[in-house]
Amino acid sequence: MKISPIKSSENFKGLVIIPFFEMDESGQAISFESFSISKNLFLGKKDSQFIIEDKVSDRMFLLLGLGKEPSYKTIKTAFRRLTSKQENLFEKKVLVILEDKMDTDFLEAAVSGLVLGTYRLGHYKQSEKGPKNWSKVNISILSAIPEPKKIIEKGLKIADAQIETFHLVDLPPNKITPKYLADWAANAGKKFGFDVKVLDKKKAEKENLKAFLAVGQGSHREPQFIVMKYRSKSASKHIGLVGKGVTFDTGGLNIKTQGMVHMKCDMGGAAAVLGAMQLIADLQLNVNVSAVVPCVENAIDSHSFLPSDVIGSYSGKTIEIIDTDAEGRLILADGLSYLIQNYKPDTVIDFATLTGSAIGTFGYECAALFSKNEELSNNLKQSGEKIGERLWSLPMWDEYKTEMDSEIADIKNFHGKPYAGAITAAKFLEFFTENHTSWAHIDIAGTAFGDSEFAKTKHATAYGVHLLIKLLENL
């Protein structure tokens, strides 16, 4: 799909998309071109459409209702819905006409939505017709915004990174292995301009990444510890990122009794960080970023780590294993320690599909945020609110710290109680942050993978990719 600005709609033939904000019912009928549409037929209400075919001018007009004050997410979803559900209307040429009051955020959201709507889950489906060839579709944007080309390019890059993230989460676990993610990172680094170092099993053993290695020791798929660096000459901030990369989670010997079919999504945090690294480099943001993505498969065989094991960690601290299904925090512990000790970033943020407790608290509407740094928390919340990737704080009080006390080791990996699961998991991670004063943990268990109108089964959302970029742009 090619999207580009246009200065005039004269002599255009094909599909014309005109988005409308909702109008007052007491207002006049909508008028454009030679048409007048009664307010009883179309008012621009949210999720409404009206289609007119003009055979004289060889144009089809699609009026898109957005509501009175649509959010960034509303606009993005409305345009995504068009290419997702009405692809037959998109032939070779399409024109989108924006009103003067539709600003740069509107244009960015619209462009991203149009591209995201081309994504399909049928990666392995065979059919005679095959998927639509979107490369033949040219979309022109008529807008009064200054330099619309820059905004369009940014919207395209955001959508491209999010679609890459979709692929990483949605493809099956026999495809998305730790090695696949390591190779993906290496290729992306070469293409977009960031450095990548991968520690395989032998190198990880030399680095004493013991907690990371313990989780993967039951799988024949070798763990991969991915380290990425993006540097900008004009950067004034250094951000550290960590993403949980459990490519499939059986639960280990504490095997999951339900929902295992969806556990290919347990690398949603890794996918978010990988997608964000692509986008950070693609947009050439003025920030230095160091990122760690520990990738393992939590499988079961005679080598699997055991409940009641005591294992080491990169930090030197010992961990009592209460539950092998609390594995994500183990690889994050080594990821956080490695990042902070070796790269010393100003701010550290980790993303992980970590606990069902976060879903129990917030459902699928927002992610759970944990941080003792109020400025960082507020910046994350504000950034997420602007683009519809919401997150909200849960307490990090030290009273919860004692829940993770172990009598045999420095800490245990699970408190074994049916409450405060997301909070105690965050307190476990905090133990490995070297008392970093600007650290945030984001539990995306409910937001990285779920149901929506765009597929019949659960699928990736790319939550966190745009959130990070929005945050970094405002630092």
Q: Which strand (E) or helix (H) includes residue 190?
A: helix 178-192
Whole-number Å distance between alpha carbons of 177 and 267: 10
Q: Which token pair is 36?
A: 């007048």
List Cβ neighbours of 184 (8 Å cut-off, separation of 6 or more).
168, 274
Q: Are 238 and 475 in contact (CB under 8 A)?
A: no
Contact 25, 44 (CB under 8 A): no
- C-alpha–C-alpha distance, residues 393 and 374, integer Å: 10
Token pair for residue 116? 């995201």
Q: Where are the alpha helices (DSSP H) in 284-412?
A: 328-343, 356-362, 374-387
Q: What is the dihedral of CA 358, 169, 162, 296, to 10 degrees?
A: 80
Contact 289, 239 (CB under 8 A): yes
Backbone angles phi, psi at 31, to 5 degrees: -125, 135
Cα R_g (the chain), whole angstroms: 24
Give the active site residue among 256, 372, 381, 390: 256
Q: How many CB atoms lie within 10 A of CB 31?
A: 9
CA 385/CA 467 separation, integer angstroms: 9
Catalytic residue list contains 191: no
Catalytic residue flag (residue 256): yes
CA distance linking residue 409 with residue 414, whole number of Å: 13
**In sequence order, what are the beta bridge partners of 140?**
4, 95
For residue 89, the 8-state DSSP code is: G
Token reading at 55: 């055979």
Query: For residue 94, how far is the Cα from the chain centroid?
Result: 29
Alpha-helical (H) ranges within 86-177 are 104-116, 148-170
Catalytic residue among 81, 210, 329, 412: 329
Q: Which residues carry out catalysis?
A: 256, 329
